[in-house]
Amino acid sequence: MKLLLTLMISIVANKFTQRYSTAILAILSLLILGCGQSALSPQEYVRWVDSDNSGLVKYKELNGFKITSKLIPSEYIAIKETYAEHKEFNQETYNKKLKEVSGQYNIYIQLAPLSGNKSALRKDLASADDYYYRVEYFNFLSESDVHLIAGNDTLQCALSNFENNYEITPFNNWQLVFEKPTQPLKSDLKFVWDDQALGLGRIRFNYNIEDINNIPTITF
């Protein structure tokens, strides 16, 4: 597409007078910029998903907590698992991994205190029992409090994996998996969490359909 538009610019520049070609050149140049990066290498793809520019990473600050929510494409997971297994990219393994996760939506949540070095689970504790309840909640009870709205479908959490990092870091990671409906997504994807442990209430993150549709492909 970029090559075609560049060729058109060259033709316009040679064929028309300076008065008209300048305006047309400007329009075609904007089209080239709008095309964006359509295909990325596996490593570039991972960096793109992790960047704020992807539109897949969202943030909220509530009651002294920073909550990061990231919509993770299946390709991202397949790339990560391939590198973890081989220490380098292997397309055969990648294709196998991608097939295993392609029917899922994955949401990664990171919980962190806005200040201090204590674990997010230890922030503003009224008693030691509160800490143990939070550990129990995220490991065993929270799955029923999260759901994903995809068009007319409300998807229940199929798998919840909360990383117990034993307070090595002040943040905690939480992976949530939802099974994709059979119908293709045609509207924004909405993540909802009704928190029962940190006093945050209902938390929503919205993923625009335009950003989801603009996820690059991968080139090998």
- Tell me the pLDDT tens digit for each residue of 183-211: 999 999 999 999 999 999 999 999 999 99
**30/51 same-domain check:** no
What's the structural domain count of the chain?
A: 2
CA–CA dist 21, 2 (Å, integer) = 19
CA distances from 27 to 10, 20, 24, 37, 149 (A): 13, 11, 5, 19, 38
In this prediction, residues 12-22 reach a mean pLDDT of 42
Of the pLDDT bands very low, low, confident and very high (cuts 50, 70, 90), residue 15 is very low
Q: pTM above 0.75?
A: yes
Q: Which residue has the higher pLDDT, 103 or 13?
A: 103
Same domain? For 49 and 14 the reply is: no
Q: What is the domain range of residue 10?
A: 2-35
Alpha-carbon distances of 192 from 82, 106, 143, rounded to whole Å:
30, 13, 12
pLDDT value for 117 = 85
Mean pLDDT confidence for 134-140: 96
Looking at the fold, whether 11 and 73 belong to one and the same domain comes out as no
Percent of the chain scoring above 90 in pLDDT? 77
In which region does residue 162 sit, left (phi positive, over 0), alpha (psi from -120 to 50) or beta (all else)? beta
Q: How confident is the model at residue 37 (pLDDT cuts 50, 70, 90)?
A: low
* Same-domain pairing of 151 and 211: yes
Name every residue whose Cβ is closer than 8 Å to that of residue 178 and which is 6 or more positions away in sequence.
104, 105, 106, 107, 147, 148, 155, 156, 157, 158
**Do 81 and 105 sit in the same domain of this protein?**
yes
Assess contact for 200 and 62: CB atoms under 8 A: yes
- In one-letter notation, the amino acid at residue 154 is T
Same domain, 147 and 202: yes
H-run or E-run covering 87 = none
Mean pLDDT, the chain, whole residue set:
86
Do 46 and 102 have their domain in common? yes
Task: Examine the domain organization and report whether 209 and 148 are in the same domain.
Answer: yes
Q: What is the pLDDT at residue 165?
A: 84
